[in-house]
Amino acid sequence: DGGITQSPKYLFRKEGQNVTLSCEQNLNHDAMYWYRQDPGQGLRLIYYSQIVNDFQKGDIAEGYSVSREKKESFPLTVTSAQKNPTAFYLCASSIQAGEGTDTQYFGPGTRLTVL
Amino acid sequence: RKEVEQDPGPFNVPEGATVAFNCTYSNSASQSFFWYRQDCRKEPKLLMSVYSSGNEDGRFTAQLNRASQYISLLIRDSKLSDSATYLCVVPNAGNNRKLIWGLGTSLAVNP
């Protein structure tokens, strides 16, 4: 089956710990994205990557880091510097054909709770 | 004007009703728009893309009004399974690879 997978579905961490969220896609998409969603707020872009070994900060990158060593994978690390890490984290990908805006497809998300 | 603005609702409608949501946007240069639906505690799923004046897919119709800078989503013959939050999405004015997400309109279809 083609798609985007995220793991784990639920994650609990203690304050002060770093944690890495996994995102894998087998759609052969060039671009990948990380968003967070908080109650009552729209999706906010954390980081995105348009090509392997390259990524850009989104609107709320502070306290997060990413890597894009393979086309299929775009892991997100939530560091202890992130002040309010409890949120629903969504990974997306898009084919990125041409200069226009491409449809983004989402994984099932990881719900992170900091205790 | 906000980059993307939606009426949060909730819209409560009976089964079989027709319901319409509006979404206003500020970037007059936007060429493409999207409607996603999101079920509670799930990921957003693409409902419809809008690239010209509108799009239709079964019971769902999206219309674009560039002059007034709004897009609408019309749902005919509402089903219980249509209950969800509907997200309006437009490209970022400075970088069309980035999307601006509305807060969503909540729809509850009642038996």
Q: Mean per-residue pLDDT for A70-95?
A: 95
Of B49, B87, B100, the CB nearest to A103: B49
Name the pLDDT band for A102 (thresholds 50, 70, 90): confident
Chain B hits for A88, CB-CB cut-off 8 Å, are: 41
Residue type, A49: S
- Tell me, what's the pLDDT at B29? 84
Q: Is the pLDDT of residue B96 over 80?
A: no
| Residue A115: pLDDT over 90 | no
Retrieve residue B106's tokens.
């909540």
CA-based nearest residue to A18, from A60, A62, A78, A87? A78
Q: What is the pLDDT of residue A2?
A: 67
User: What confidence category does residue B109 fall into, taking pLDDT thresholds of 50, 70 and 90?
Assistant: very high
Q: Is the CB of residue B4 less than 8 Å from the CB of residue B101?
A: yes
Closest CA to A24 of A45, A43, A1: A1
- Residues of B at the A interface (Cβ-Cβ below 8 Å)? 4, 31-32, 34, 41-46, 49, 87, 91, 96-104
The confidence band for B14, taking pLDDT boundaries of 50, 70 and 90, is very high
Asked if A13 reaches chain B (Cβ–Cβ under 8 Å), the answer is no
* Short-list B1, B45, B7, B62, CA closest to B27: B1
Could you read off the pLDDT of B54-70 as tens digits, one per residue? 899 999 999 999 999 99
Residue A99 has pLDDT above 80, yes or no: no
Q: Chain B contacts of A90, Cβ < 8 Å?
A: 43-44
Asked if B96 and A101 come within 8 Å (Cβ–Cβ), the reply is yes
Please state, in angstroms and rounded to a whole number, the distance separating the CA atoms of residues B33 and B46.
11
Q: Report the distance separating Cα A18 and Cα A12, nearest Å.
A: 11
A50 touches chain B (CB under 8 A): yes
Mean pLDDT of B84-105: 90
Separation of alpha carbons A67 and A49, rounded Å: 9
Q: How far apart (Å, rounded) are the C-alpha atoms in residues B21 and A50?
A: 32
